[in-house]
Amino acid sequence: MKLLYFAWVRERVGRAEEVAEAPAGVSTIGELIAWLRSRGPEYAHAFESDAIRAAIDRRHAKPDAKIAGAREIAFFPPMTGG
């Protein structure tokens, strides 16, 4: 699946997008975040805040949302548009 990062999440991870396959047992957004945190200090820093929001295939998704079948998962801070 494709992972997208925006705003300070993007800055901390150090890239805007990547392709990744989560290991077996990672089935929800919350579990995916926990796995991402384990991938290195830049990920740990990017995902240290509980305020991070996620979207699955361009729709907002809660931490318990299932990621099976997702093509594109985005992570970003709380929105500040308007």
| Residue 35 is a binding residue for another protein (CB under 8 A) | no
Nearest CA to 3 among 36, 31, 25, 28?
36
6-25 residues near another protein, rule: CB under 8 A: 6-8, 10
In DSSP terms, which residues pair with 68 in a beta bridge?
none
Residues touching another protein, count (CB under 8 A): 18
Based on CB atoms, which residue is closest to another protein, 33 or 73?
Answer: 73
For tokens 């991070």, what's the residue?
Answer: 52
Note the maximum CA span of the chain. 39
Q: Which of 13, 33, 55, 73 binds another protein (CB under 8 A)?
A: 55
